Amino acid sequence: MATATTGYDVIVIGVGGMGSAAAYHLAARGQRVLGLEKFTPAHDRGSSHGGSRIIRQSYFEDPAYVPLLLRSYELWAQLAADADQEVFRLTGGLYLGPPDCLTVAGSLRASREWSLPHEVWEAAEIRRRFPNFTPADGDIAIYESNGGFARPELTVRAHIDLALRAGATLSFGEEVLSWAETASGVTVTTARTTYHADQLVICPGAWAPQLLADFGIPITIERQVLYWFAPTGGTAAFEDDPIYIAEDDSATQIYGFPAIDGPAGGAKTAFFRKGIVCTPDTIDRVVHPHEVEEMRDRVAALLPAMAGPCVHTATCMYSNTPDEHFVIARHPGGTRVTIACGFSGHGFKFVPVVGEILADLVIEATTRHPIALFDPKRLVTSENSIA
């Protein structure tokens, strides 16, 4: 194996959702960037695929995310303009269930705390506005006009193209075997060579437990399944629906999208956080008949016309921290390594702003964005101390 000494300012490991955004923002700010990716551009082996991802601002997980979302929306618009691609679309968002459930109460809390435009609808109003939906009589909904979806594959490709245009070097099909921080910089070893740079950004996705083993950050990988059903009567009646997140009395959440992939594409839906622990090597990529039937039964209770044939399925992976908040930080034990991982199934809407944050941390060692919530020190126990 040859050894190559290179003149890069920063190496980015992982050129998926977060890594491609980081590579672009770094290159656009004059950094000499090398991006290393195990798979092909915008691949379907990790977490940044499946045709659509929900974007929203009324954030039930924690109102602390809202400032990042407001900036992310600005960057989504800028990305769409710079790439001349429809990387996102606003459809409106419907977050419904019992009034005291997390989906509804959390969305309402964030909306009120940050004065976000929203409406509160009773079940009858939900049915009147969107006849495909049949909520229970006691359910209510938070409607957010700024809800919508992003196209993950288009987003990754757009950031890749813009990074290349800004002068980044991106290498695909090159798996990272190891990395190390030294007194003079960082080294990254692949099957081809060893690279040298001043700084390192690691965006490992579901490969975090392997690439970040020395950090002691507890991350669990879960298999998730996506489903596309052909509505009875066709997709036309579903084309103008909002994205939705619905919670039932058992606190089970499902989410879904309007029919955005044409007459043969069906409409996409899935359970949220109903996964099986796995690794990238052991994930079962086969979607089984009993899984399809369980999903059909659940979504049909809310959208009866969705009980048609399943036309497509896909699997992806969540990388979950114990508290389901992200990890974004400079390595607490060094000065040249920055990490972004543990996005816990709700990170893709933040891709543009995470790219900006990572560029800030590399270039300025700080960021104006509020990221204290994502400090990995919160996850440290006596069993998993950060070096």
pLDDT in tens, 314-364: 999 999 999 999 999 997 666 899 999 999 999 999 999 999 999 999 999
Tokens representing residue 278 in the block: 């796995």
Please calculate the CA angle 115-116-119 and round it to the nearest 5 degrees: 110
* pLDDT recorded at residue 381: 59
Burial of 215 (0-12, 13-18, 19+ CB in 10 A): buried
Q: Which residues contact 89 (CB under 8 A, 6 or more apart)?
A: 148, 149, 260
Length, in residues, of the chain: 387
Angle between helix 351-364 and helix 66-83 axes, rounded to 10 deg: 100
* pLDDT recorded at residue 3: 47
Q: What is the pTM of this model?
A: 0.95
* pLDDT recorded at residue 327: 97
DSSP annotation of 242: P
- What span, in angstroms and rounded, lies between the C-alpha atoms of 204 and 341? 6
Tokens representing residue 321 in the block: 């921290």
Q: In which residue ranges of the chain is pLDDT below 50?
A: 1-3, 382, 386-387
* pLDDT recorded at residue 213: 87
Q: Which of 296, 231, 233, 224 is nearest to 259 (CA)?
A: 231
End-to-end CA distance of the chain: 30
Q: Which of 107, 100, 105, 97 is nearest to 137 (CA)?
A: 97
